Amino acid sequence: MRRYAAWVVVCVPVLLASAPAAPEQRHILTSEHLRVLHWPEQVELGEIARDAGNEALVRLEKMLDIELDERIDVYIVRSAAEFDELTGGRNKPWTIGRALPGMMRVVVKPMGPQRLPKLIAHELAHVMLDLRMGERADVLPRWLHEGIAKYAADDFDEAERQVIGRAALADELLTIDQLEGAFAGKREQVDLAYAQSYTLVAYLSEITPGRGISPLLDQLAQGRDMRLALGLAFHRPVPEMEAQWLESLHTAYLRDVAPPLSEALIGALFVVAFLIAWLVIRRRSARIRERMLREEQMREALRWLPPGPYTVLPPYGAPSPDGDDEPTIE
């Protein structure tokens, strides 16, 4: 009996130590239309995501004219592998957020509390926009999807202002018809497409402040192509709206890459001063060379005169060596 008890005392701790640890569980924060799933060390980010997400959903319901009656899951991951697992595919390293409307899911990578609210609002906008369009969700061009998401998240920074300003300066702004194709271009074109999509959605939303972008979504949901939908939604000729939008980009953002008028004026004055100084120095150097040449000619002529005192005058009509118009006696 004692031997059995001793065996139990020895073996039980060993078995407990070798037993697999219970898997770590995500923490869950819930609200009426949102569920945030995060890891234990991400408590602060989870609370920020829940609060920012709730605020974004209120804005999006009003902006898109939709009432949400479902719950959206927001996952905050630890690693790129977990991000790929929850999104169902391999993502590019710089992808920091994905929306999966069919699964009512948003997946984001952890980041600072200043950037997370905009990212959450951006991805929730994609989910809400698909819900708004229903079976017609696939007709939306990417510029409209991204423009609405950026506009809903107020996601427009100084770098994007510079992107538009440089394009305006080079006369390379994208038209409405060029926006969609630009998303498949080089990085510079993609950046410009994102930035201009935001400004176009903002411009269209201000035409009908009471309904924002919703009239356009209504027309697209009825199967109309983009240009016809734009004209019917906002009761204006599309070329007129497009020209006004592009002109507003020139006016608003060109100054972000052009120097201020005062700096340009000072720079121009420096250039003028430099040119004047260069001309003065060039003229003075020419006069000095001319005087040295005359003196050399005079010395050469004096070598052939007989000895004796002489008064030598410069040639008639030539300026004197000291620059006076009248010749002097030396």
What tens-digit pLDDT sequence spans the chain (330 residues)? 555 545 444 454 444 455 555 678 999 999 999 999 999 999 999 999 999 999 999 999 999 999 999 999 999 999 999 999 999 999 988 899 999 999 999 999 998 899 999 999 999 999 999 999 999 999 999 999 999 999 999 999 999 999 999 999 999 999 999 999 999 999 999 999 999 999 999 999 999 888 889 999 999 999 999 999 999 999 999 999 999 999 999 999 987 665 554 454 545 555 666 677 667 677 776 776 777 677 666 666 655 555 555 555 555 555 554 555 444 333
- β-strand 105-108 against 34-38: which pairing, if any? unpaired
Token code pair at residue 218: 């209504």
Reading the block at residue 212, the tokens are 């924002």
Query: Going along 39-149, which residue ranges are E strands?
Result: 72-76, 97-100, 105-108
Task: Look up the CATH superfamily of 24-136.
Answer: Collagenase ColT, N-terminal domain (3.40.30.160)
Q: What are phi and psi of 100, to 5 degrees?
A: -125, 85
Phi, psi of 106 (to 5 degrees): -125, 135
Question: Among 150, 90, 156, 144, which residue's Cα sits nearest to residue 124?
Answer: 150
* DSSP designation for 78: S
What pLDDT sits at residue 31?
A: 95
Label the pairing between strands 105-108 and 72-76: parallel
Closest to 176 (Cα-Cα) out of 240, 123, 224, 117: 240
Q: Where are the domains of the chain?
A: 24-136, 140-258, 271-296+311-324
Which pLDDT belongs to residue 122? 97
Nearest to residue 243, comparing CAs of 175, 307, 155, 191? 175
For 160-170, give one letter per residue: b (16+ CB within 10 A) or e: bbebbbbbbee
Helix residue ranges per DSSP H, 153-186: 158-169, 176-182
pTM of the model: 0.71
Q: Do 156 and 201 meet the contact criterion of CB atoms below 8 Å apart?
A: no
Q: What is the pLDDT of residue 262?
A: 47
**Any idea what the Cα angle at residue 156 is, between residues 234 and 35, rounded to 5°?**
90
pLDDT computed for residue 299 by the predictor: 63
Cβ neighbours for 162, distance < 8 A, ≥ 6 positions apart: 256, 257
Question: How far apart, in whole angstroms, are the C-alpha atoms of residue 107 and residue 110?
Answer: 10
Element (H, E) at 36: strand 34-38
Element (H, E) at 38: strand 34-38
Residue 10: what pLDDT? 47
Q: What is the rounded CA–CA span in Å between residue 233 and residue 219?
A: 7
pLDDT at 17: 52
> For residue 244, what are its two tokens?
């006004």
Q: Enter the DSSP assignment of 20.
A: P
